[in-house]
Structure 1
Amino acid sequence: MMTREFIDEIKGCNMKLVIQKTLYKSDLTLSQNRLNMPFKQVETHDFLTDKEMQILCDHGGEIEVRLVGPNLQMFNKPMRLQIWHMSFVKTYVLRTNWYDFVEANKMVLKELATLQVWSFRKDEQLCFAVVCVDDPVVNRTTLEFMKLSLIA
């Protein structure tokens, strides 16, 4: 089963590519316990509602989100999404239980793997699907490529 089919099956909707990035050691270590998604690399910011964006823009504001892993299962621990302001850069950060998620998916979440993070809604709640891809796609502006390169 593909990620899109799984999200349809669990009644998810409004799927959007948030980012495609390479995983680095800092994304996988316990001491960091977070996934950085720099604004400059994000494909779209409209995965957030106006209310969610307002919450995140308040200093220290965070939103609880759920994650679907590469194994096509909803991870049992919620995560927190925040915006961090670092020097001259803003970044979305998935944190709180990120390292537990990495450990649960360590067979595919490895250093230098290419990762895609897709947003979707389930019962109005913001969720993300984390997908590892074999062949990174240069043109990432449509959903069409998703069917080409997912690891099922």
Structure 2
Amino acid sequence: MAKHAPDQPAPAMPGKLMNAITDLGGEDVLWVIGKKLEKTDVSKCHNRLSILESQVAVEEFITITERSEISQRNKIAVDVVLLVTAGGGGGGGDDEAHHQGTQLWGLNFTKWEMKISSIYVLITNWWELVRNNSLKRGDKAQVWSFRRSHNGGEKKKKLCFAINVLRN
């Protein structure tokens, strides 16, 4: 079950998204954040989804090793499972008529230190994801992390994300 901060309760994950995670061998699902997409999140020149570090539901979605790596501005290759849900009124219901299929994207994850805050960012191919799915400012992104076996190895689990976008 996904962990979450009490002030930001985790919504129910759509069944299609959970099924896609399961099909990838995913586990350890954690609620990260819910946010409205801002102008910079859907801008070609910015090419990134920003997640304020101070607003994540649990810090444990990244390991100590990953935290150290991204603190040095290194990028971590991640898989992102995306589901776009029409009509942003729902909180995770599974009315099949309102869902497109899930998509798997390869992106990079890192952390940027700003003047007054730190942000995690999903970068590299983010603009393609936005453009191909016609994401707009005001759409709501629900973000979970999960782990999956990497290159058949059981020791190190790869960081991945699942994003449900609720159309505005």
TM range (shorter): 0.7 to 0.9
Q: Which residue of 98, 101, 117 corresponds with 2:143?
A: 117
SS at match of 1:82: strand
1:96 is matched by which residue type in structure 2?
A: T
Task: Quote the residue 1:34 is aligned against.
Answer: 48
Task: Quote the residue 2:104 is aligned against.
Answer: 74
Task: Report which of the two structures shows the higher radius of gyration computed on alpha carbons.
Answer: 2
2:23 is matched by which residue type in structure 1?
A: E
Task: Quote the residue 1:93 is aligned against.
Answer: 121
Q: Extract unaligned runs of 5+ from structure 1.
A: 136-152
Structure 1 consecutive aligned stretches of length 4 or more whose deviation exceeds 3 Å:
none
Cα drift, residue 134 of structure 1 = 7.0
Could you tell me whether the CA contact under 8 Å between 1:69 and 1:105 is conserved in 2? no
Task: Quote the residue 2:35 is aligned against.
Answer: 21
Cα drift, residue 2 of structure 1 = 2.3
Structure 2 length-normalised TM = 0.72
Cα drift, residue 28 of structure 1 = 0.5
Give a deviation string over 1:120-147, Cα, whole Å, max 9, x none. Answer: 1121111111102479xxxxxxxxxxxx
Could you tell me whether the CA contact under 8 Å between 2:20 and 2:81 is conserved in 1? no
Structure 1 length-normalised TM = 0.79
2:80 counterpart of 1:50: no
Q: Extract unaligned runs of 5+ from structure 2.
A: 1-14, 84-100, 150-156
Could you tell me whether the CA contact under 8 Å between 2:17 and 2:82 is conserved in 1? no
SS at match of 1:110: coil
What is the distance in 1 between the residues matched to 2:28 and 2:138? 29
1:66 is matched by which residue type in structure 2?
A: D
